[in-house]
A = this chain, B = another copy of it.
Amino acid sequence: MVSQVVVDEKPPQQLLSKKAGCNSHGQDSSYFMGWQEYEKNPFDPVSNPSGIIQMGLAENQLSFDMVEAWLEKNPDALGLRREGGASVFRELALFQDYHGLPAFKNALARFMSEQRGYKVAFDPSNIVLTAGATSANEALMFCLADHGDAFLIPTPYYPGFDRDLKWRTGAEIVPVHCTSANGFRVTRAALDDAYRRAQKRRLRVKGVLITNPSNPLGTMAPRADLEMIVEFVAARGIHLVSDEIYSGTAFGEPGFVSVLEVMAERGAAAADVSDRVHVVYSLSKDLGLPGFRVGAIYSSNAAVVSAATKMSSFGLISSQTQYLLAAMLGDKDFTQSYVAENKRRIKERHDQLVDGLGEIGISCLESNAGLFCWVDMSHLMRSRSFAGEMELWKKVVFEVGLNISPGSSCHCREPGWFRVCFANMSAKTLDVAMQRLRSFVESTTNGAAALRRATVPARSISCPIAIKWALRLTPSSADRKAER
């Protein structure tokens, strides 16, 4: 009954799926490559003071002391006990209902509402829990798009989206080109242009996906822009996904406006589009808990909630973690003081970076949220091109010892921008980073010139940002070629 063994001569890769071999997961982009370099030689103030400083990672390490103090005061949350002392371990060990722990969903709904100044009420039954926003975004794509369908996404956008939205779903991303001329705000013209390009590629456009606050820009979408985007998706009969995982980092005025607030204000007019607007949330940024893998989809579309809930089987949140966070987010006094103080600290660190950069003649896009700045280093490039950007990026990583993310990895169309994270290190380490950058800037001709001009620190620049362009070199022919 046992047949002869026929040795398979094909390399094993050929037996794998196309996905396993393809590169659309984006692992090889400079965004992730910088991480790998950092991991080989990570900075430590004591043991490795010449190592690479990680400024490519949007982690929030600023407010752990507050969470730790809460944990000290509330040992039952980690200890999996009720107030009376009885263990809930058995219940949690078995709890794998993909609807989630009711106490956690209720607490999360309230927390999300609090983040939005209680202008939006979240119905816990419209929440789908997922193992992080990565999983939430992919599940939404699986629900909304078939292979070959497209989503329009304003550039620059989070490099991980190529993996999260396209890799396993087969969906396509069509970039909505935004420019520094208006501070990278999304315009109706840019949306229409992207829609037309998708049509030319014979892609069926299923929706628009925005990050608000924006990753990598660190800006909140103005209310008027959100209204315009909602009008666009309403008119086109398509979906809108608003990834709001940075909503709790919004430290600037006039404050964060969720797309759901805009929907609420539409009143009866929202009916035409309300079941096509979906929000993604997570506790990775706002509470600094990426390791706990807590994400969520919020949608008023019953079919989406139903399908996404079934899909959440592929990435449920540990019940142990749900229990802990139900208690933490259920403590309104804690969340209120945490959010306020966390924002204050983010702003302080943000200002430290912007001021430090300003002192060495480097300007940033004016921002009011996020754990990073969108930094213009175009004057430091030897050529105004993506080749020049990559050359500069490699110098900054390997010579200066700072891992930052080049704009090209975020699909930015203008070379010379970089995402620089500031909340995943101490203020002292950020100082070291600024000192290193100063030395580098002084060593370059253009940098030194800009530094001399920067007698008054610019803080950050509003758009239109004339000064930024004034610092730029005339593009060479080589650059234009690269820019095509």
Contacts and interface: CB of A to CB of B under 8 A. Distances in A.
A458 interface: no
A198 to B, nearest CB: 15
Interface stretch (A63-71, A353-361, A390-398): A63-71
A187 to B, nearest CB: 8
Contacts of A71: 87, 89
Give the interface centre of A10, A13, A231, A293 by most chain B CB atoms within 10 Å. A293
Contacts of A301: 12
A321 interface: yes
Contact of A288 (B93, B273, B304, B315): B93
A472 to B, nearest CB: 29
Contacts of A252: none
B79 A93 contact: no
A335 interface: no
A24 B80 CA distance: 37
B307 A19 contact: yes
Given A15-B237, A168-B142, A272 B94 contact: no
A149 B318 CA distance: 32
Contact of A289 (B80, B93, B131, B289): B93
A269 to B, nearest CB: 7
B319 A291 contact: yes
Interface in A237-251: 237-239
Interface stretch (A132-140, A433-441, A449-457): A132-140
B315 A318 contact: no
Contacts of A27: 310
Nearest to A231: B2
Question: Quick one: copies of this chain in the complex?
Answer: 2
Contact of A314 (B1, B135, B304): B135
Contacts of A179: none
A122 to B, nearest CB: 20
A286 interface: no
Interface string A133-154: 0110010001111110100000
Contacts of A238: 15
Contacts of A235: 3-6
A134 B313 contact: yes
Contact of A20 (B6, B187, B307): B307
Chain A interface, DSSP helix/strand/loop, else mixed: helix
B318 A317 contact: yes
A40 interface: no
A290 interface: yes
A272 B142 contact: no
Contact of A276 (B15, B20, B135): B15
A59 interface: yes
A21 interface: yes
A236 B480 CA distance: 53
A386 B273 CA distance: 45
Contacts of A443: none
B1 A288 contact: no
A451 B146 CA distance: 55
A478 interface: no
Contacts of A272: 5, 7-8
Interface string A265-302: 00001001101100000001000111111000000010
Interface in A158-197: 163-164, 168, 187-189
A131 B139 CA distance: 15
A413 B150 CA distance: 42
Nearest to A147: B147
A305 to B, nearest CB: 10
B93 A304 contact: no
Give the interface centre of A8, A67, A324 by most chain B CB atoms within 10 Å. A8
A78 interface: yes
A147 B148 CA distance: 13
A291 B276 contact: no
A304 B135 CA distance: 20
A227 B5 CA distance: 12
18 contacts: A2-B231, A3-B232, A10-B237, A15-B276, A16-B304, A17-B142, A19-B307, A25-B307, A67-B89, A78-B79, A93-B288, A93-B290, A94-B288, A95-B290, A96-B284, A134-B314, A291-B320, A292-B320
Given A1-B188, A163-B313, 16 more contacts: A2-B227, A3-B232, A4-B235, A6-B235, A16-B303, A16-B307, A79-B79, A93-B288, A132-B316, A147-B147, A168-B314, A291-B318, A292-B319, A293-B318, A315-B315, A320-B324
